[in-house]
């Protein structure tokens, strides 16, 4: 069993690595975009015409033959400010059962189904304020391999979290990301007492992001990956607290807690706190806690991974 608990002093890490990225595509297998959404009671959006109450939409097909189907609670389609102090919650047990296989690798072909709390797609410049007591959450509990996001953004966005942003796949193998960004830029501030989290059999990431990234964590960012049970993902678990890559500068500052946990005692586990595939300047500063856990004798756990 390999388990590491590290409390690090302030550090700054600079690296330049070639990005595993093709124009418009992310390095990670957690890379699907998304589409529409809505406004539930108790939310305040500065332009209600740009947020619809629950949604389903299609993106694709696009190279290399992938079509994404998006379902969720709230869709932001303009550069508005959304203030949430209630529940932006999407829970589905009715995803189609023929979701394409979630297999290791960067690109996949087939039909893929997503469930999410909020989608930002339509215009750059939106701000999402998840206030204290607020929840933005996507849970997929249906049949077939699936994907879940708390927030999925295809635009540049600013996210200020003082509540809970969470994604979970509960029944079958899948990919979950608390915040999933595939866009021209993202700024995430996770305040003291706030949580960004993700959990799934096979693969989970607290924040999955690409270009022009700025993350400041004063709370908790946590990801948990359980052993997969289906086909090529069977007995595999991959977890990253923050997964990032691209060709633009990345700044990450942790003053709180970053956790990556693979609790399976038998799976081939990959647990990494900060995973970076990038050919630009990366800055990582830490005054907080970094916790990385692999409970299996197979696989590995590490605080940092920089790849080409």
Classify burial at 78, counting beta carbons within 10 Å of its beta carbon; exposed 0-12, middle 13-18, buried 19 or more: middle
What local confidence, expressed as pLDDT, does residue 32 receive? 30
Distance separating alpha carbons of residues 118 and 137, to the nearest angstrom: 8
Given a contact cutoff of 8 angstroms between Cβ atoms, the answer to whether 25 and 19 are in contact is no
Using CA of residue 160, residue 202, residue 229, residue 72, what is the dihedral sign? positive
Report helix, strand or coil for 129. Answer: strand
**Exposure b/e, 209-229, CB count within 10 A at least 16 = b:** bbbbbbbbbbbbbbbbbbbbe
Q: How far is CA 48 from CA 40, 80, 138, in A?
A: 10, 9, 21
Lowest mean pLDDT among 92-101, 137-146, 236-245: 92-101
Name the band, by pLDDT with cuts 50, 70 and 90, for residue 13: very low
Strand order in the sheet with 282-286: 12-15, 282-286, 250-254, 213-217, 186-190, 157-161, 126-130, 81-84, 43-45
Report helix, strand or coil for 7. Answer: strand
Residue carrying structure tokens 């970076």: 276
Domain count for the chain, please give it. 1
Does 1 have pLDDT greater than 70? no
pTM of the model: 0.82
The whole domain housing 16 covers 2-21+29-307
Classify burial at 67, counting beta carbons within 10 Å of its beta carbon; exposed 0-12, middle 13-18, buried 19 or more: middle
pLDDT > 70 in the chain, percent = 75
What local confidence, expressed as pLDDT, does residue 306 receive? 60
Name the band, by pLDDT with cuts 50, 70 and 90, for residue 67: confident
Name the band, by pLDDT with cuts 50, 70 and 90, for residue 17: very low
Q: Compute the residue count for the chain.
A: 308
């Amino acid at each position: 069993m390999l388990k590491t608990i590290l409390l690090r002093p302030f550090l700054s890490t600079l690296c330049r690595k070639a990005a595993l990225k093709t124009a418009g595509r992310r390095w990670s297998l957690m890379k699907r975009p998304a589409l529409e959404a809505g406004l539930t009671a108790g939310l305040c959006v500065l332009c209600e015409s740009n947020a619809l109450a629950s949604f389903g939409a299609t993106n694709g097909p696009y190279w290399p033959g992938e079509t994404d189907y998006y379902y969720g609670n709230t869709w932001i389609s303009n550069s508005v400010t959304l203030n949430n102090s209630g529940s932006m919650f999407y829970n589905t047990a009715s995803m189609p059962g023929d979701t394409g296989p979630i297999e290791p690798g960067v690109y996949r072909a087939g039909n893929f189904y997503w469930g999410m709390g909020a989608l930002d797609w339509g215009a750059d410049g939106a701000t999402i304020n998840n206030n204290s007591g607020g929840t933005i959450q996507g849970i997929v509990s249906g049949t077939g391999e699936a994907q879940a996001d708390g927030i999925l953004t295809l635009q540049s966005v600013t996210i200020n979290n003082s509540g809970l942003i969470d994604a979970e796949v509960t029944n079958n193998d899948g990919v979950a990301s608390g915040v999933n960004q595939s866009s021209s830029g993202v700024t995430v501030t996770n305040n003291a007492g706030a949580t960004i989290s993700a959990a799934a059999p096979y693969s989970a990431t607290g924040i999955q992001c690409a270009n022009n990234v700025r993350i400041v964590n004063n709370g908790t960012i946590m990801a948990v990956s359980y052993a997969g049970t289906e086909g090529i993902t069977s007995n595999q678990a991959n977890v990253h607290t923050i997964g990032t890559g691209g060709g633009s500068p990345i700044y990450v500052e942790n003053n709180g807690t970053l956790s990556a946990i693979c609790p399976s005692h038998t799976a081939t586990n990959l647990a990494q706190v900060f995973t970076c595939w990038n050919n630009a300047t990366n800055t990582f500063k830490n005054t907080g806690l970094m916790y990385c856990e692999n409970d299996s004798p197979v696989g590995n756990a590490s605080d940092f991974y920089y790849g080409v």
